[in-house]
Structure 1
Amino acid sequence: MCSAVSSPVFSAQNSAQESQAPVARVIGGTTTYAGELPWQALIYIDYGNDGNEVYQCGGVIIDRNTVLTAAHCMQHNNVAAKTYEIMVWGGITSTTSATLGNAHTVVSVTVHPDYDATTFTNDIALLRLMTSFSSSVQPIQIATLGEQSQADLAFENTYVHGGENPENLLVSGWGRTSTDPKATVSHELMHTLLSGVPDDYCNSVWSNINSTNLDRFVCAISPFPQVDRDSCQGDSGGPLVWQNPQVSADSDFGLRLVGLVSFGAQCASDVPSVYTEVAHYRTWISSVVGNRFNFDPEPVFTSDPFLNAERLGKNTSSSDGVGDASGGSGGGSLTLGGILGLFGVFLWRIREKSIR
């Protein structure tokens, strides 16, 4: 979910929904170093363009001018975000590196026409940028329907409810890193490994997932019941990544975008968090961007984050880190990051079936 931004530039806002929110942040994560997750985007939405209601979300870079995020990030109190209210950054790991000078402006926002703010079905939006990301930013491939089926089968065959499970998914973002209600979001980009949950089990605990739309959601949970790992407030719209073992030797290590952070119960609970299944929307993406959109970019990633994340071990510790900034559209050098003393907004509605 998104979170409000507090800084010398943007004043923090409370949400009337805050007390009943399901949440999304990276909990139990580790700091991301420069270039490790080059597909990650940071998004600020300044509703009213006056600094009074500014919210943070994550995003995923799928080409040098295109970012995917959650539809719920682009709507607040039934008001749609306007292009001039949105700023996007790529190629940074620290919010203190996010400046007006390296922000990218948005020329179009397309929210899925069937997005349902009650069930969070079709929780996906597409941003087109005025200027291209620099060469330090690398897009990530979207999983094909066949690859998504492979992932689903792996989740079905390996998941043990209440037991230890494979670390087969990776989530990242600048969201909250603690279950403490007073916790703030992270200045540093964090990531952690999760375990994929079978659709039928996720359906049994979430009432807004049913047999007619199982192909629109991916569910994930901490691999270890005794360890807190999750996405949380401030991570909405960010990437959930799976590694295709059949092409793990490729230049992109077989990394595939399978989900966008959408909704969940309270952070790091024993209820699976829910992500928008991006493979389902390949046709829609093509219809928005155009038939010439390249679904098969050939990025060269410098490291395999699944191997790097093994340094997490079975712990919940996180550490401080530093990031760097890439180029972008024009503007001043006023720092927007460093900023994030957050309150939960766009908070998901908890349903009784999600609480056990």
Structure 2
Amino acid sequence: MRQPFYTLYPLVLLLLCPCLILSQGHLRIINGSAARPKQLPYQVALHAYFGNSGDEPSLCGGTILTKRWILTAAHCLQEPDTNLLKVIVTAGALNKTRKDEPGHMELLVRRKDTIVHPLYDRHTVANDIALIRLPKDLKLGAYAQPARLPRGKNKFNLNGRSAISSGWGLTAKQRPTDILQYLNVKIIPNKLCERLWNKQLNGERKLILDSFLCIDSKGGLPCRGDSGGPLVLNDGTQTVVGVVSHGYDDKCQLRLPDIFTRVASFNDWIEQHTGRLSKA
């Protein structure tokens, strides 16, 4: 579920030199199902406008943390050689193009109200996480609700857990979708993820950092336009454990594990900026 890569994302190249770690992939739900109203109330769409994009925005996803804070990926708010101008945040939506849909909300966010992790690295994709402070409160309710940050056992013991990835990005037909899609996936160990990537690379090397989290993508995977969106535990708690970061190929056809930013690795950083979320 991603939008066409050449228009909606900064171009990210695979590092193919044998002397380098292959540390990047293509930033990104294929084989997903259409969501029902109120099913994924923590999901938002982001349309980011950059200085060189004209009227064509980049599409990403995000997660509601509170009525004033949105969680997303760093690469959604930062491109090389240009500046972010503004972000349109759409919340409470199933069809993101229907402004008359019940629950639909849009807010304009300026660059000064976005926070990209200061150690974000486009080449290794480390620290691919960011925050957006909304200019006014979201109207929380059945259509828009915050997700929870991972606590306790949800911080570390995630291998084998079932989760939901969602967004409005490219579908299996290689076309964008207006209707929110979702996919049930399983979280896999980082070591397995690294082994599968490196087997495919055949001599190159991909380093799966502790702050990454991987899913088994055999049944489907996020795609262009889904970056920044949530990976939420499928246990009814609406706990956001991952942020869509990057995958192996730009057309999302090779079913290698997709890689997310592990939210638990950044709980302290999130709360440093948002304060205790219950007070935000």
TM-score category, normalised to shorter length: 0.7 to 0.9
Cα distance in 2, alignment partners of residues 16 and 199 from structure 1: 26
Query: 2:264 aligned to 279, 294, 297, which one?
Result: 279
Cα distance in 2, alignment partners of residues 105 and 16 from structure 1: 21
Give structure 2 stretches of 5+ with no counterpart: 15-23, 199-204
2:254 partner amino acid: S
What's the offset of the Cα at 1:51? Answer: 3.8
Contact 2:12 2:27 in 1 (8 A): no
What's the offset of the Cα at 1:169? Answer: 1.5
Query: 1:177 aligned to 171, 182, 192, which one?
Result: 171
Query: 2:214 aligned to 219, 223, 231, which one?
Result: 219
Match in the other structure for 1:261: 244
Cα distance in 2, alignment partners of residues 242 and 177 from structure 1: 22
What's the offset of the Cα at 1:78? Answer: 4.0
Match in the other structure for 2:96: 95
What's the offset of the Cα at 1:264? Answer: 0.6
Give structure 1 stretches of 5+ with no counterpart: 6-11, 156-167, 298-356
What's the offset of the Cα at 1:71? Answer: 0.2
Q: Alignment length, in residue pairs?
A: 255
1:274 partner amino acid: I
1:260 partner amino acid: V
Cα distance in 2, alignment partners of residues 221 and 185 from structure 1: 23
SS in 1 for 2:65: strand
Give the 5 Å matches for 1:1-356: 3=3, 13=7, 17=11, 22-23=25-26, 26-48=29-51, 51-82=54-85, 85-98=86-99, 102-106=105-109, 108-136=113-141, 137-144=144-151, 146-152=153-159, 154=160, 168-178=162-172, 183-204=174-195, 205=197, 207-210=205-208, 213-214=209-210, 216-222=211-217, 225=218, 227=219, 229-243=220-234, 248=235, 253-266=236-249, 267-290=252-275, 292-294=276-278
SS in 2 for 1:284: helix
TM-score by length of 2: 0.81
Match in the other structure for 2:18: none
Point out the structure with max Rg over C-alpha: 1
Contact 2:12 2:26 in 1 (8 A): no
Cα distance in 2, alignment partners of residues 190 and 90 from structure 1: 15
Q: Quickly say closer, same or farther: Cα 1:87–1:15, change in 2 above 3 A.
A: closer
Contact 1:89 1:98 in 2 (8 A): no
SS in 1 for 2:268: helix
What's the offset of the Cα at 1:132? Answer: 1.3
TM-score by length of 1: 0.65
What's the offset of the Cα at 1:33? Answer: 1.4
Contact 1:26 1:171 in 2 (8 A): yes
Q: Quickly say closer, same or farther: Cα 1:87–1:16, change in 2 above 3 A.
A: closer
SS in 1 for 2:191: helix
Cα distance in 2, alignment partners of residues 65 and 24 from structure 1: 26
Cα distance in 1, alignment partners of residues 153 and 259 from structure 2: 20
Contact 2:8 2:58 in 1 (8 A): no
What's the offset of the Cα at 1:76? Answer: 1.4
What's the offset of the Cα at 1:14? Answer: 7.7
Match in the other structure for 1:316: none
SS in 2 for 1:274: strand
Contact 2:3 2:175 in 1 (8 A): no
Q: Quickly say closer, same or farther: Cα 1:30–1:14, change in 2 above 3 A.
A: closer
Any runs of at least 4 consecutive aligned residues in structure 1 with deviations exceeding 3 A, and if so which? 1-5, 12-25, 49-53
Deviations 1:237-268 (A, max 9, x none): 0001114xxxx5xxxx2231100000011214
What's the offset of the Cα at 1:278? Answer: 0.4
Contact 1:2 1:55 in 2 (8 A): no
Match in the other structure for 1:323: none
Query: Which one scores higher on RCO, CA 8 angstroms, separation ≥ 6?
Result: 1
SS in 1 for 2:146: coil
Percent of residue pairs identical: 29
